[in-house]
Amino acid sequence: MTTQPRITGSCGARATFPMANSVQHDLSILLAAKTGLVYLTANDWTLISDKATRLRFEAGEYLIHRGEKIHGVYLLLKGQASVLIPSQNTSLAIGAGEICGEISLLDQQPATADVVATQAVEAYFVDRPTLQSLFELFPHLGSRFYQSVAAILSRRLREVIGPLKKARP
C-alpha cells in the first residue's frame, strides 16, 4: 500500500506511482461510491485508473482554481474537498469516490468553481485526450461515463437549488 513520489505539479500536488494493492483498494473505493461515477463497471475503472496520474493535495491546497482552464477531471480517492460556489455564496463537500472538473470537461471552458482540499486528498487525474482515446476504443465506457456525469450534475444542481416545495392541492 505504499507509493513512491514521482513529480510535483504546478499546483503543488505530488504525483505518485501506486502499488498493486493500492490500486485494488482505489478501485474498491470508486466502485462503492454512491454519488460518484456510479454507472462505471470494475473493468471501466481498471481502464481509467491504468491511464490516470495519482496526485496528493494537502489541506488548503487547490485542486481547481475558478476561471482557469483545466484539462481533465479529478477522481477523489481519499480525503475531502470543498467546492466553493461564488454565485451561491456556499460550498459543497465532496469526498472519496466523487469527481470534480466535470463541467470543464464537458464544455472545455474555464472552471466554474474553486475546489480546495479541506483535508489531505488523494485523487486520480485523467486528462481529456486520454479519456477521449479510451471512449473511442471502448464506446460503452464513454456512454456509462457520460451517463454518470449527467446524474452527478443533476444531483448537484438539485442540491444548489434546494428542496422542492410541496404542491398545493
Residue 11: what pLDDT?
Answer: 54
Mean pLDDT of 152-158: 90
Which structural domain range is residue 108 located in? Answer: 3-156
Give the per-residue pLDDT at 12: 58
> Is residue 164 in a domain?
no
> Does 142 fall in a domain?
yes
Pick the most confident of 31-35, 86-90, 150-154: 150-154
pLDDT in tens, 24-52: 888 888 888 888 999 999 999 999 999 99
Cβ contact 69:128 at 8 Å: no
Specify the CATH number for the domain of residue 134.
Answer: 2.60.120.10
3-state secondary structure the chain: CCEEEEEECCCCCEEEEECHHHHHHHHHHHHHCCCCCCCCCHHHHHHHHHHCEEEEECCCCEEECCCCCCCEEEEEEECEEEEEEHHHCEEEEEECCCEECHHHHHHCCCCCCEEEECCCEEEEEEEHHHHHHHHHHCHHHHHHHHHHHHHHHHHHHHHHHCCCCCCCC
Q: Which three cell numbers stand for residue 134?
A: 479510451
Chain-centre distance for alpha carbon 92: 14
In a domain, 167, yes or no: no
On the 0-12 / 13-18 / 19+ scale of CB atoms within 10 A, 151 is middle
Which of the two residues, 25 and 53, has the higher pLDDT score? 53
pLDDT at residue number 91: 87
Task: With respect to residue 111, please indicate whether it lies within any of the assigned structural domains.
Answer: yes
The CA–CA distances, whole Å, from 47 to 66, 67, 82, 97, 144 equal 29, 30, 27, 16, 13
Q: Which residue has the higher pLDDT, 17 or 102?
A: 102
Mean pLDDT, rounded, of the chain: 87
Is the pLDDT reported for residue 157 higher than 90? no
- Count of the separate structural domains present in the chain: 1
Q: Which of 82, 161, 153, 71 is nearest to 114 (CA)?
A: 82
For residue 50, being part of any structural domain is answered with yes
Q: Considering the domain boundaries, does residue 83 fall inside one?
A: yes
Place 14 in a pLDDT band, splitting at 50, 70 and 90.
Answer: low
